[in-house]
Structure 1
């Protein structure tokens, strides 16, 4: 029921999904993090659960989603529970080697975030949609 409400809220907020949008489940790696890429290979994301992992803990304790865009410029967006931040200077570029693909027309709910994949880019928000980002070759927007 919650997911149905989230999808309805997303549609009402203007994040219109194609009629055939399908929810997918993304699997966590042994570390507890979830990694996925867009079909283009230009955007890749790592989701860290609340409390972090043995090797990484988000500044606010998590959860956190970190997405990198490779082209036209390497940019990272970090989305936490109460902020979305664009980082234009990335000291550890490491994008886009994940095996899981969030195909166009699919969406996933992971660790308190909802991500939508469309040919026009990736949109991820907190479940309450108070914070999020849109990322594409054409630009990046955070809120």
Structure 2
């Protein structure tokens, strides 16, 4: 048996005995039907970007040297908050969470309605987001 055939047999034999665990999807992305709200759930947190806001945006914090007012963050536990940001999670190709539908992922529950998007975490804390209004609870 030559060296090439031996290595091929050895590799096939080794890999036939190794069990690879199924890799769980670590993140998911979606957008609302209006395409105004885009969200990413990853690493036990959710971030939603509201592209257009017609309501009043709170003043920018002094420690925020980037963009302000359109990003909303929520961890698996605790209250949500507006984020300082220099990027976006908006992706025109992400799936649409249709009105009346609910997404459950990594402990977050998000429901899309014509009036906006509501997301909650394991503590039942979260937000209601729309073009006109952004409310934390």
- TM-score, with length taken from structure 1: 0.63
Aligned length: 99
Displacement over 4 Å in runs of 4+: none
RMSD: 1.9
In structure 2, runs of 5+ residues without a counterpart are 1-23, 55-68
Contact 1:107 1:114 in 2 (8 A): yes
Contact 2:50 2:130 in 1 (8 A): yes
Contact 2:39 2:89 in 1 (8 A): no
How many angstroms does 1:125 deviate by? 0.4
Correspondent of 1:139 among 114, 133, 137: 133
Distance 2:41 2:89 in 1: 14
For 1:24-103, list aligned pairs within 5 A.
32-48=26-42, 52=43, 63-72=44-53, 75-80=70-75, 81-87=77-83, 89-103=84-98
Distance 1:82 1:128 in 2: 6
Q: Report the structure number with the largest CA radius of gyration.
A: 2
In structure 1, runs of 5+ residues without a counterpart are 1-29, 53-62
Distance 1:67 1:37 in 2: 9
- TM-score, with length taken from structure 2: 0.65
Contact 2:45 2:74 in 1 (8 A): yes
Distance 1:65 1:94 in 2: 10
